[in-house]
Each structure stands twice: as C-alpha cells, then as structure tokens.
Chains A and B, each alone.
Chain A
Amino acid sequence: MMIFTIAAREIRSLFLSPLAWAILAVTLFILAYLFLSQIEAYLLLQPRLAALQGAPGVSDIVVAPLFGDAAVVLLLITPLVTMRTLSEERRSRTISLLLSAPVSMTEIIIGKYLGVLAFFLILIGMLALMPLSLLAGTALDLGKLAAGLLGLTLVVAAFAAIGLFMSSLTEQPTVAAVTTFGLLLLLWILDWAGNSGLDTSNLLGYLSMLRHYEPLLKGLFSSTDVVYYLLVTILFLGFSIRRLDATRLPH
C-alpha cells in the first residue's frame, strides 16, 4: 500500500518533468528507425531466403536485432531516469518527509524502484507494438517475441536496480548518472574479456549481462539467465536499502 503510494508519486514526478517525455520520444524515434532499417534489410534478403531451407524468419532478422539494440539504447538512458530518484531527494532535503513518515526503508526503496520500473515498462510496451504491427501482414514466432520481451524486461529491471543504488550513494544526480553508466557498460562488456581464452575470463564472461541476454533473444529460455537478472536486481535493491539506512547511522 505504502509502496504503491511512493511508486505513484515517483512516476508522477517523472512525467511532470519534461525529461521523461523527452526520453520517451527520443528513444522511440531511434528504435523506430532501427526497426524500419531492419525491415528494409529483411526485404532485401527475402528473395535469397526463400530459396533456403530452414532459413531464419522475420522474427530472427527483425525482432531479435531490434531487441538487442534496444537493450543498448536502454543502457544509455537508464542512468538519466534513475539518477534523480534518491540523490535529488537528499539534495533538496525532501527525503526527511519519507524518513519521518511511518514507512520502512524497504518500502521507500521498493516504492521508488517500482515507480522507475513502471516508466520502463511503458517504454517496453510501446517498443513491443512495433514487431506486433507486423502481425497485420505476416506470421510471427510469438514464443520468440515473448522470450525477447522477457529478456529485455529483466535486463531493464537489473539496470534500474543498479541505477537506484548509484543514486543512493551521492547527492549529485549527474554523478549518479555517470557512475551508473560506467557500471552498466562494464557489466555489459565484461564478455569481451571472456573471449581472450584465459581461465579467469570465463568467470568474467559469466558475469556479463550480454551473455545472459543473447540466449533469450534466440528464444532460448533458461532459468539460469532469468535467475541471474533477478539476483542482480535483488542484490542492488538490498544494497540500496542498506545504504539508505546507513545515512541515519553515526559514522
């Protein structure tokens, strides 16, 4: 109950600032452009694909790359959405409204998190409409589409939790944005080191967010990948709760 009150305030404040609208508009514009160029590529390939047996369909050539690119675009914009969640409240001292109200630290963090997540779900929902519009003219592999959507949602859920934690560390929203971006990018490209063939690189590769996302894009649902994202999300939410609690304690 309190969680939803806080989440509702969060999403309301997001949409009262032009930032959320600008992010939605720019992101969807870029994704729409990617979607259209992917369709164009498919149309060029179509004659040759028709000759092949077991050739990749529209779901593989249009939907999977679109969702793959969408994750990278979301990696860029997540810091902008999450940067203000806690740092702005601390900077403008409005955090004391929450701290002196009868709500627990957990409720504050989960509430804020759900508010941010709701924003991303709106974005993903609009993104999902693009491939779904193809249903008007062709058949889609809805299972693959669902796996891709699940993957993207899990990726963004983990991104948002990391962004929220970074925002709890500082009073400067821009610092929160930069550090969030750095950490997200690092977690994304850890995989590159994994290709070097060393023993340690396997572990690094395993921690990479990209490596757990790719199977889902191919329509391969593995509970390991899902658990990976859920663990990252819960871990960083837990860190945020501890961090918020620690601001009260004497050092």
Chain B
Amino acid sequence: MSSQELIRIDHLHRDYGQLRAVDDVSFELARGEVLGFLGPNGAGKSTTMQMITGNLAPSAGEIRICGIDLLDQPKRAKREIGYLPEQPPVYRELTVDEYLTYCARLNRIDRRHIVRAVATAKDRCGLGDTGARLIGNLSKGYQQRVGIAQAIIHNPAVVILDEPTVGLDPIQIREIRGLIRELGEAHGIILSTHILPEVQATCNRVQIIHHGKLVFSDSTLGLEQQLNATALVAAFRSGPDSTALQQLPGVTAAEVLGAGRVRLHYSGSDPAEALVEMAASRGWRLYELVPERRTLEQIFIELTCSDVPAQVTTEAAA
C-alpha cells in the first residue's frame, strides 16, 4: 500500500464477442480521491466497474486493489471493495436490518461488531428508523440508500458507486453527494454518472471514457482552468472600436457581434480590467461584461461526439 495507492489498473481490456467494450484503460486511484467516471451510454463505464469489483473477468490487463492482485487473490482483494451496481442488489423480501446483517456477514465482519457496523452504516446513509421495514416496501430513493449502506458497511478502502443518484429527488441527491464527499475523505471513491454537474460538485478528479478508451483525465482543479474564461462578451452603448480592442494585452481576436456587442478571445491573463479602463476613458458606455466559460458539458460533447466540430459555439455561463 505504498503512497496510499488504492487502485491500480493496467491496460485493461474486455471484449464481448466482436465488440471491444473496454480498450486499454489504465489509471490509479489514491486515498482521499473522488474519481468521477463519465461517458455516454454504452461507453464502458459499468463494464470497467464490474471488472474492478470482480463481477466480470477482464480479457487482458491487471487490477490491483491496495496492492493485491484481484485475479490472483480475489477473496483478499474483494475485502477492500464496496460496490453499488446500477441496480441496488437488495433482497426485497428481507428487512433493512436483516439485509445489512447478511451483507456484514458476507463481508466477514467479526460477529461481535456486526450490530455496530449495521447501525453505523444505517446512520451514515440516513436510514435511521427504517430498520424493521421490508426493503420491497421502501421507495426507490431509500432502496438506493440501502444499496450504498451495503457498499460501505465493511469500511472498505475503495467504494465504487455506479450512478448512485439515479432516481432520487433533489434533496436526496444533495444528501448523497454530501455523503460521497464525506466518504471521500477517508476512502477512495469511483463514481460513475452521466450527470455532469454532479461530477463538478463531488469529484476531485474526472475521467471521460468513450468507445472503451479513456479520452480525458484531469483533476477537477485542472478542469476548472480549462473551463475558465477564454472569451469575454462586452456590450457598449456607443460603438466600440475593434482595432483599439485588439490592442489590449492578451487579446487575440475581437469579433463584432452587432448591436454594440463584441466578443474578445484572449489567452493568458484576463483583459477585463484593462477593457473597463479603456471603455471608461474613451466613453464607450460599457453596460455589460460577461466572461464566457466552457462548461464540462462542452468538453464532454467535444470528446464524445466525433461528428460535432471541435469549436462549439459557447454559451455564457456566469
């Protein structure tokens, strides 16, 4: 377990007949990381997660959990994994307590600690007083919580959640996101989703998978910088002088949009301050100044839709 590396994936492949669902995927996960796994439907997210949790065997490649090879020592490696599949694997005919006790036993929790482990897991997932209820009678959101409780009951080093917020109401989504962030402090978490704001809200690293290949991998901080403004839209009451605008430091192009609006493309430092000064001194009567940001959605679409041109028209998102 050197340098807190919880998962190491090397050149993972998986074929379904002719179809190559996962193609040469390699990445690591460290303690304290929340890794967002993004991709369109059928990109290979779930397949990758199923391989990491031992539900599917890879066609080629290596998976190490806390330094233990999953294929050589599956029992030891699986102790360190908690997994919530797309559909929570709950037995509808059991009560929440019975089910979680069963999960605790399956994960080889010491008999004396089972009651405490069940209580802790219920507490963390907000299942407080549902213990005696049948899982089949719970709402979808609560079943999802039971699924998460099942994944964290044995306090695993790695928690893998496949679309954990599907089917939840907005308040539940906020709670689950909070829980994921909290878990992320002590564990390593892999989270798959296609809800993009969720990644920005909970993850500190993002990976995008497309046609089985990793096409993007960066920290959320790095992503923020990519997302940050690369253009400003300014609106003036009395016509601007586009040649003068181009003189501003850093500005690479000034695009006149009509009706007194100009889009300034720039690289390096933000020219907003200089622009405001210039507008004031020349009496252009600036009344609107909006930084244009790329959204994660645009990056996602650029990477995953090959037929859409790389330069997507940017929308203002202040």
Interface residues of A (CB under 8 A from B): 2, 5-6, 9, 12-13, 16-17, 92-104, 248-251
Distance in Å: Cβ of B137 to nearest Cβ of chain A: 13
21 contacts between A and B (CB under 8 A): A2-B105, A2-B106, A5-B102, A9-B91, A13-B91, A16-B93, A16-B94, A92-B87, A92-B89, A93-B85, A94-B89, A94-B91, A96-B83, A96-B85, A97-B89, A97-B106, A99-B54, A101-B103, A104-B75, A248-B54, A248-B55
In the complex, what residue of chain B is closest to A4 when comparing beta carbons? B105
Q: When the two chains form their complex, are residues B150 and A97 in contact, meaning their CB atoms are under 8 A apart?
A: yes
Contacts A2-B108, A17-B93: A100 and B55 contacting too (C-beta < 8 A)?
A: yes
Question: In the complex, what distance in Å separates the CA atom of A247 from the CA atom of B21?
Answer: 16
Pick the residue among A5, A16, A249 that contacts B106 (CB under 8 A).
A5
Question: In the complex, what distance in Å separates the CA atom of A199 from the CA atom of B92?
Answer: 53
A-B interface pairs (CB < 8 A), number? 78
Q: When the two chains form their complex, are residues A250 and B83 in contact, meaning their CB atoms are under 8 A apart?
A: no
Pick the residue among B53, B76, B106 that contacts A103 (CB under 8 A).
B106
Q: When the two chains form their complex, are residues A101 and B106 in contact, meaning their CB atoms are under 8 A apart?
A: yes
Distance in Å: Cβ of B103 to nearest Cβ of chain A: 7
Pick the residue among A99, A102, A248, A249 that contacts B107 (CB under 8 A).
A102
Question: Size of chain B's interface in residues, with CB distance under 8 A?
Answer: 36
Distance in Å: Cβ of B292 to nearest Cβ of chain A: 43
Pick the residue among B15, B59, B78, B91 that contacts A100 (CB under 8 A).
B78
Distance in Å: Cβ of B212 to nearest Cβ of chain A: 13
Pick the residue among B17, B89, B93, B106 that contacts A13 (CB under 8 A).
B93
Contacts A5-B102, A9-B102: A95 and B89 contacting too (C-beta < 8 A)?
A: yes
Point out the residues of chain B lying under 8 angstroms from A248, CB to CB: 54-57
Contacts A96-B53, A96-B55: A250 and B103 contacting too (C-beta < 8 A)?
A: no
Contacts A2-B108, A16-B94, A248-B57: A102 and B78 contacting too (C-beta < 8 A)?
A: yes
Point out the residues of chain A lying under 8 angstroms from B81, CB to CB: 100
Question: In the complex, what distance in Å separates the CA atom of A6 from the CA atom of B103?
Answer: 10
- Is B210 in the interface zone, CB < 8 Å from A? no
Q: Give the most central of A98, A99, A104, A248: most B CB within 10 Å.
A: A99
In the complex, what residue of chain A is closest to B58 when comparing beta carbons? A250
Interface residues of B (CB under 8 A from A): 14-17, 50, 53-59, 74-76, 78-79, 81, 83, 85-87, 89-94, 98, 102-103, 105-108, 150
Point out the residues of chain A lying under 8 angstroms from B16, CB to CB: 250-251
Distance in Å: Cβ of A243 to nearest Cβ of chain B: 14
Additional A-B contacts beyond A92-B92, A100-B53, A102-B78 (9; CB < 8 A) = A6-B106, A9-B91, A94-B91, A95-B89, A96-B83, A100-B54, A248-B56, A250-B15, A250-B58
Point out the residues of chain B lying under 8 angstroms from A94, CB to CB: 89-91
Distance in Å: Cβ of B159 to nearest Cβ of chain A: 11
Question: In the complex, what distance in Å separates the CA atom of A100 from the CA atom of B92?
Answer: 19
Point out the residues of chain A lying under 8 angstroms from B108, CB to CB: 2, 102
Question: In the complex, what distance in Å separates the CA atom of A81 from the CA atom of B208?
Answer: 45
Question: In the complex, what distance in Å separates the CA atom of A121 from the CA atom of B150?
Answer: 32
Point out the residues of chain B lying under 8 angstroms from A17, CB to CB: 93
Point out the residues of chain A lying under 8 angstroms from B87, CB to CB: 92-93
Question: In the complex, what distance in Å separates the CA atom of A6 from the CA atom of B105?
Answer: 9
- The 9 A-B pairs of least Cβ separation, nearest first, read A97-B89, A100-B53, A101-B106, A102-B78, A100-B83, A94-B89, A5-B105, A16-B93, A248-B57
Point out the residues of chain B lying under 8 angstroms from A97, CB to CB: 89, 103, 106, 150
Point out the residues of chain A lying under 8 angstroms from B79, CB to CB: 102
Contacts A17-B93, A96-B83, A251-B16: A101 and B107 contacting too (C-beta < 8 A)?
A: yes
Distance in Å: Cβ of B98 to nearest Cβ of chain A: 8
Distance in Å: Cβ of A133 to nearest Cβ of chain B: 35
In the complex, what residue of chain B is closest to A248 when comparing beta carbons? B57
Distance in Å: Cβ of B126 to nearest Cβ of chain A: 21
Point out the residues of chain A lying under 8 angstroms from B74, CB to CB: 102, 104
Question: In the complex, what distance in Å separates the CA atom of A183 from the CA atom of B158?
Answer: 44
Question: In the complex, what distance in Å separates the CA atom of A95 from the CA atom of B56?
Answer: 12
Question: In the complex, what distance in Å separates the CA atom of A249 from the CA atom of B16?
Answer: 10
Distance in Å: Cβ of A25 to nearest Cβ of chain B: 19
Q: When the two chains form their complex, are residues A103 and B55 in contact, meaning their CB atoms are under 8 A apart?
A: no
Contacts A250-B14, A251-B17: A98 and B53 contacting too (C-beta < 8 A)?
A: no
Question: In the complex, what distance in Å separates the CA atom of A17 from the CA atom of B59?
Answer: 39
Question: In the complex, what distance in Å separates the CA atom of A99 from the CA atom of B76?
Answer: 13
Point out the residues of chain A lying under 8 angstroms from B102, CB to CB: 5, 9
In the complex, what residue of chain A is closest to B75 when comparing beta carbons? A102
In the complex, what residue of chain A is closest to B105 when comparing beta carbons? A5
Distance in Å: Cβ of A2 to nearest Cβ of chain B: 7
Point out the residues of chain A lying under 8 angstroms from B98, CB to CB: 12
In the complex, what residue of chain B is closest to A108 when comparing beta carbons? B106
Point out the residues of chain B lying under 8 angstroms from A250, CB to CB: 14-16, 56-59
Q: Give the most central of A93, A96, A99, A251: most B CB within 10 Å.
A: A96
Contacts A97-B89, A97-B106: A102 and B53 contacting too (C-beta < 8 A)?
A: no
Point out the residues of chain B lying under 8 angstroms from A13, CB to CB: 91, 93-94
Distance in Å: Cβ of A167 to nearest Cβ of chain B: 16
Q: When the two chains form their complex, are residues B15 and A93 in contact, meaning their CB atoms are under 8 A apart?
A: no
